[in-house]
C-alpha cells in the first residue's frame, strides 16, 4: 500500500486538537511534563515512547479519564476541559484500547449498545452498525454472540463502536497486537480511508515498521517529555527506536548452542476446556529440547491459554504421561511439583495471574520461588533474600520503579513484565514456558527480554514461547508451530517456513496440506 500523500502537496489542516504545556502529576511523580501536541484532520499521527514514557497518561487526558494539573487543551481552536469520557466523546473523540471491553455472552449489537451514550433500540442500532461496517469493510453480524467470534472480529466491534460515535479524532492503542498479517493489512486500509475522510488518528504502537508505513507525523515521548518530532517515513526503525529510548537498540543475537535431550514432551494431549467458551485441545504433540527455543504462533483465542494452563499445572489432566518434564510424567502434578522438576512459567496476564496487584514485588517473588530457591529457611521467610532477588531483577532487567519494593500494580505494564520474566529467568530453570513475553513492550525492553531468553537457552534450558508477534518468534525461535482451533501444527525450523506461510496457518489456511505432508508428530 502506498504511503499517505505528501503533506507538503496541500495546505495543512488546522489542528482539531491542541495541547499546550499539558502536565499531570501523581504525588511527586510527573507523568506528563509540559507536553505540546497538535492533531490535525486528515492526518495519522504516531505517539511513540518506551514503556512508562507517559503515553497512556496523555491519552487519558485527551479522552477525559484524567484532568491535567497544568496546561491547556483546545478543540477546534477553543479552550476545552473534559469533566469525563462522556464529554470527550460528545466533542468527537473516541478511543480503541488494546484490551477489549466486551461481554462474551452478549451479541455484537448488545455490546455496541453498552458502549454508546445515546439510547437506541437494538434493532435500529443493528441497522446502523451494518451500514458503518459495510462502508469501511468491517463485516459484522449484529446478532452473533461475541464468544463465537475470532479476535480480529472482536477488534472490529471496538472499531465500529467507536465509528458509530462519528469521531473526528480516533485514538488507537496497539491495534494490530492480536491480528494476523492479513487482518493487519485490512486494518491499515480502513485507517487510510478514515484519514481520507478528514478524521485525525492518533496511532500508538511499538511496531515501528507499521508506524513508518502509516504515519506522516510522530511525536516521541521520553520520561514524560516530548523529546522529538519527525516524519516516520523519512526515518529508519533504528533511528525511531533510538529517539524513543535515548540510545541505540541492539538487536538480540543468537549464539552457538547445542541441542540436547527433550526437557518437555507432550503426546496426544486432548483436553476439554474448563470454561464454556474455551477451546478444546485436540491431540497436541510437541517436544522442546535442551538448548532450543520453540515458538507457538497463533491468533489469540485458538487454545493458547488452555495449552499454557495444561503445561503449567493450572489444569491437571488425567493422563499423566501426556506431559513429561525432564523425563518425568507430569500431567497430574501441581504447579509447585512441576517447578521442583526445574520448570518455570510466565503467564500472559501480568496483574492477577503472574502477580498479585496489591502485594509487594518481594512477596510476589516469594509466591513463585518459595519452594525452589533460598527464600525460605527452616520454615521462615528470609526477607533479606526476597529483597535481594528484587534488587537483582531490577538491576539485570532495568526495572524502573519509584521505590525499592513497591506493589506490583504501581509499576507500568512494561516494567512489571520485565520483573516477571526476570524473576523466572534468574532462577535458571531447565524449562521455561512463557506466554507473550514482550506484549506491549517498547523496542529496548522487548530486545532485552528476547536476548535473555536466547541466553537462557544457550545455557542449556528448553524454552517454549507462545506469542502473537511473528517478528518476535522469527527472531529468536529455532522452530515454530501454529495453533488454530485447538490444534497444533508440527513445529518446523524457522529457516524452512516463511512469514506468509505462518500467516496463512494462523488464519486457518493450509492445515490439511500441512498435516498430510508432515504428519501429526512433533
- Confidence (pLDDT) at 516: 38
pLDDT over 50 at 520, yes or no: no
- CA 299, chain centre distance (Å): 12
Residue-level pLDDT at 514: 43
Q: Give me the helices (H) in 95-150, please.
A: 108-114, 122-135
Residue 323 has pLDDT above 90, yes or no: yes
Cell of 102: 466486551
Cβ-based neighbours of 513, under 8 Å, separated by 6 or more: none
Spatial separation of the C-alpha atoms in residues 178 and 439, rounded to whole Å: 10
Say if residue 348's pLDDT is above 80: yes
Domains and CATH numbers, the chain: 18-92+167-245 (3.40.50.300), 102-166 (no CATH), 254-342+430-522 (3.40.50.300), 356-428 (no CATH)
pTM: 0.75
pLDDT at 284: 95
What are the C-alpha distances in Å from 475 to residues 275, 295, 299, 437, 454? 34, 10, 18, 13, 10
Confidence of residue 7 (pLDDT cuts 50, 70, 90): very low
Per the rule left: phi > 0, alpha: psi between -120 and 50, beta: everything else, 335 is: alpha
Beta strands in 115-216 (DSSP E): 169-173, 200-204
Poorest-confidence range of 265-274, 343-352, 370-379, 473-482? 370-379
Question: What mean pLDDT is predicted for residues 83-109?
Answer: 87
- Give strand pairing partners of 351: 355
- Grid look-up 480502513 returns 190
More confident residue, 182 or 23: 23
pLDDT in the model for residue 276? 73
Residue 488: what pLDDT?
A: 95
Does pLDDT of 517 surpass 50?
no
Percent of the chain clearing pLDDT 70 (strictly above): 93
Question: By the 8 A CB rule, do 245 and 222 touch?
Answer: yes
Task: Write the pLDDT tens digit of every residue in 172-210.
Answer: 988 887 777 777 888 899 899 999 999 999 999 888 999
Across all residues in the chain, what is the average pLDDT?
87
Residue 6, pLDDT > 70, answer no
Is the CB of residue 171 less than 8 Å from the CB of residue 93?
yes
Q: 470 with 439: CB under 8 angstroms?
A: no
Q: Report residue 519's pLDDT band, with 50, 70 and 90 as the boundaries.
A: very low
Q: What is the pLDDT at residue 93? A: 94
Whether the predicted pLDDT of 104 surpasses 50: yes
Q: What pLDDT, on a 0 to 100 scale, did the predictor assign at position 471?
A: 85
Q: 238-263, pLDDT tens digit by residue?
A: 899 889 888 777 777 777 778 999 99
Residue 80 burial by Cβ neighbours in a 10 Å radius (0-12, 13-18, 19+)? middle
Q: Could you give the percent of the chain with pLDDT greater than 90?
A: 50
Q: What pLDDT shows up at residue 359?
A: 93
pLDDT in tens, 115-148: 776 666 777 888 888 888 888 877 888 888 888 8
Above 80 in pLDDT, residue 13? Answer: no
DSSP line for 230-280: E-GGGS-HHHHHHHHHSSPPPPP-PPP----SEEEEEEEEEE--SSTTS--
pLDDT tens digits for range 154-176: 888 888 888 888 899 999 988 88
Helix (H) or strand (E) segment spanning residue 287: strand 281-289
* DSSP per position, 482-510: EEETTEEPPPEEGGG--HHHHHHHHTT-S
The whole-number average pLDDT for the span 435-459 is 87
pLDDT higher than 90, residue 309: yes
Give the bridge partners for 360, in sequence order.
407
Count of helix runs (H) and strand runs (E) in the chain? 17, 23
Determine the average pLDDT of the residues in 478-495.
Answer: 93
Q: In sequence order, which residues have a C-beta less than 8 Å from that of residue 495 and are 6 or more positions away? A: none
Region 500-505: mean pLDDT is 84
Question: What's the pLDDT tens digit per position in 40-95?
Answer: 999 999 999 987 789 989 999 999 999 999 999 999 999 999 999 989 999 999 99
Give the pLDDT confidence score for residue 321 in this predicted structure: 93
Provide the residue count of the chain.
522
How many degrees, rounded to 5, is the angle at CA 243 between CA 241 and CA 246? 95
Amino acid at each position: 500500500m502506498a504511503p499517505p500523500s505528501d503533506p507538503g502537496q496541500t495546505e495543512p489542516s488546522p489542528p482539531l486538537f491542541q495541547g499546550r504545556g499539558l502536565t499531570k502529576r501523581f504525588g511527586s511523580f510527573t507523568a506528563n511534563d509540559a507536553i505540546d501536541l497538535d492533531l490535525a484532520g486528515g492526518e495519522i499521527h504516531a505517539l511513540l515512547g518506551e514503556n512508562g514514557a507517559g503515553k497512556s497518561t496523555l491519552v487519558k487526558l485527551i479522552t477525559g479519564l484524567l484532568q491535567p494539573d497544568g496546561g491547556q487543551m483546545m478543540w477546534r481552536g477553543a479552550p476545552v476541559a473534559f469533566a469525563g469520557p462522556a464529554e470527550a466523546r460528545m466533542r468527537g473523540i473516541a478511543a480503541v484500547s488494546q484490551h477489549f471491553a466486551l461481554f462474551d455472552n452478549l451479541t455484537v449489537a448488545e455490546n455496541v449498545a453498552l458502549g454508546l451514550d445515546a439510547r437506541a433500540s437494538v434493532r435500529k442500532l443493528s441497522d446502523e452498525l451494518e451500514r458503518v461496517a459495510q462502508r469501511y469493510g468491517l463485516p459484522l453480524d449484529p446478532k452473533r454472540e461475541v464468544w463465537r467470534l475470532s479476535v480480529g472480529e472482536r477488534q472490529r466491534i471496538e472499531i465500529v463502536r467507536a465509528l458509530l460515535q462519528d469521531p473526528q479524532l480516533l485514538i488507537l492503542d496497539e491495534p494490530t497486537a492480536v491480528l494476523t498479517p492479513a487482518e493487519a493489512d485490512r486494518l491499515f486500509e480502513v485507517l487510510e480511508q478514515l484519514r481520507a475522510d478528514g478524521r485525525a488518528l492518533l496511532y500508538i504502537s511499538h511496531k515501528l515498521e507499521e508506524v513508518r508505513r502509516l504515519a506522516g507525523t510522530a511525536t516521541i515521548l521520553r520520561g514524560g517529555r516530548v523529546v522529538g518530532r519527525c516524519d516516520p517515513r523519512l526515518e529508519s526503525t533504528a533511528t525511531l527506536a533510538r529517539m524513543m529510548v535515548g540510545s541505540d537498540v541492539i538487536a538480540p543475537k543468537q549464539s552457538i548452542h547445542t541441542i540436547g535431550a527433550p526437557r518437555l514432551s507432550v503426546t496426544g494431549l486432548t483436553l476439554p476446556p474448563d470454561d464454556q467458551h474455551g477451546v478444546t485441545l485436540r491431540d497436541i504433540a510437541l517436544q522442546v529440547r535442551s538448548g532450543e527455543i520453540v515458538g507457538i504462533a497463533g491468533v489469540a483465542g485458538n487454545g493458547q491459554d488452555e495449552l499454557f494452563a495444561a503445561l503449567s499445572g493450572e489444569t491437571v489432566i488425567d493422563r499423566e504421561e501426556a506431559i513429561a518434564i525432564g523425563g518425568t510424567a507430569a500431567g497430574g502434578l501441581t504447579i509447585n511439583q512441576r517447578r521442583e522438576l526445574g520448570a518455570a512459567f510466565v503467564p500472559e496476564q501480568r496483574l492477577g495471574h503472574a502477580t498479585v496487584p496489591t502485594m509487594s514485588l518481594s512477596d510476589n517473588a516469594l509466591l513463585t520461588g518459595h519452594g525452589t530457591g533460598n527464600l525460605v529457611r527452616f520454615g521462615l521467610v528470609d526477607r533479606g533474600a526476597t529483597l535481594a532477588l528484587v534488587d537483582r531483577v531490577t538491576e539485570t532487567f532495568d526495572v524502573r520503579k519509584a521505590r525499592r519494593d513497591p506493589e506490583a500494580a504501581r509499576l507500568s505494564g512494561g516494567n512489571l513484565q520485565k520483573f516477571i520474566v526476570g524473576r523466572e529467568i534468574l532462577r535458571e530453570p531447565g524449562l521455561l514456558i512463557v506466554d507473550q513475553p514482550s506484549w506491549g513492550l517498547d523496542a529496548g525492553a522487548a530486545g532485552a527480554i528476547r536476548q535473555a531468553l536466547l541466553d537462557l537457552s544457550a545455557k542449556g534450558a528448553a524454552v517454549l514461547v507462545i506469542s502473537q508477534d511473528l517478528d518476535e518468534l522469527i527472531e529468536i525461535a529455532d522452530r515454530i508451530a501454529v495453533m488454530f482451533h485447538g490444534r497444533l501444527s508440527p513445529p518446523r525450523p524457522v529457516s524452512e517456513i516463511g512469514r506468509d506461510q505462518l500467516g496463512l496457518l494462523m488464519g486457518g489456511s493450509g492445515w490439511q496440506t500441512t498435516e498430510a505432508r508432515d504428519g501429526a508428530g512433533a
